[in-house]
Amino acid sequence: MKLAILTGGGDCPGLNAVIRAAAKTAILEHKAEVVGVKDGFEGLIHGRFRPLAYMDVSGILAEGGTILGTSNRANPFKYPFTSAAGEARFEDVSDRCVENFRKCGADVLIVIGGDGTMSIAHGLGKKGIPCVGIPKTIDNDLRGTDRTFGYDTAMRIAAEAIDMLHTTAQAHHRVMIVEVMGRNAGWIALGAGVAGGGDVVLIPEIPYDIQHITSYLLERRSKGKRFSIVVVAEGAKPAGGEVVVSRRVADGAEPIRLGGIGAKLCEEIEDATGMESRAVVLGHLQRGGPPTPFDRVLATRFGYEAAKAAMGGKEGIMIGLHGTEIGTVPMEEAAGGQRLVEPDCHLMRTARAVGTCFGDGILYLP
């Protein structure tokens, strides 16, 4: 058999660990030939492939990024191009993907990505490309799995940043605001906020009231806490308000780019409380660097199971972590939308119990 591997969407720590595990499993256990698709679905659209021998995937376990490259602007069902008049338009080039897949001689395609990638893979499966999915995203917002690889690394980077900001916040008696990624899901903000001891954590799933936040910060100051840490997800928004948009991209997979909520909060908090405030945007730092040991192990387990399933003739499924065990779910389920933070989940209840403010007026004060 011949196995093809593709990494789609944004880059993420652990991608190389997955490629390594899937390729080595196929080569060693199944004596299969392995080929990599360059630059995500862009490579499938334009027929760009590279062979992956054993030595090609050796020594990449701890490397960030992806040796295959990726793209988050190459949806085959809505591929952007510029017309003669200079207008951004879209066309369906999925048939070209099917043709190129058949030309490369692969029997099955392992697709590594988030909800958008799984949605594309599900559509290509209907057109005749056998696909097996692996859940990847720092946002941890993919259905069909309890955890995506990349999330632990992003959470660690954010938590370490919060740790470092504690000292400067305390020295200058400031409110330090840390803006993290996550799109419409608050998993990074919630996890890093709990791990880093954030006093206020704002997530997209719970619209906030700025008055609840400022009252809480003033209450902390009245009790001798002369500094505070606010962790805010890029997609957080006030009750009845809208998300803060940094810019719009006409031909992008995501038409709006989130960003700027940290600076907005900084100004509002300083105006309302008189407390000196500063905002830090972590941005793509959360995507970079080597994966944590947890993500390396999870990615390796995912890669092994995906290759085993692919070599066994399975298709239209995604590998997922369920509790401590690795299982599978229909790819259609994974492509069915984002997995958001449940406001009453255990981690939320835990955070509230230790005094974390979510800007919604539900608060336990000493």
What is the C-alpha separation between 92 and 71, in angstroms, rounded?
17
Beta bridge partners of 175: 228, 277
**Residue 169 contacts by C-beta under 8 Å, 6 or more apart in sequence?**
175, 176, 227, 228, 229
What is the C-alpha separation between 36 and 352, in angstroms, rounded?
46
Phi–psi pair at 284, nearest 5 degrees: -75, -5
Report how far apart the first and last C-alpha atoms of the chain are (Å, whole number): 64
Instruction: Select from 265, 130, 119, 136 the least CA-distant residue to 199.
Output: 265
Give yes or no for a contact between 10 and 181, defined as CB atoms under 8 angstroms apart. no
Instruction: Select from 177, 175, 237, 178 the least CA-distant residue to 203.
Output: 237
Phi–psi pair at 283, nearest 5 degrees: 50, -135
Q: Which residues are catalytic?
A: 139
Instruction: Select from 146, 138, 24 the least CA-distant residue to 72.
Output: 138
CA distances 343 to 205, 323, 348, Å, are 7, 20, 6
CA angle (14 as vertex; 52, 231 as ends), nearest 5: 155
Beta bridge partners of 36: 5, 50
- Sole residue written with tokens 């799109």: 183
What is the C-alpha separation between 101 and 109, in angstroms, rounded?
9
3-state secondary structure at position 303:
helix
Tokens of 324: 């401590």
Instruction: Select from 80, 122, 93 the least CA-distant residue to 329.
Output: 122
Instruction: Select from 102, 18, 72 the least CA-distant residue to 255.
Output: 72
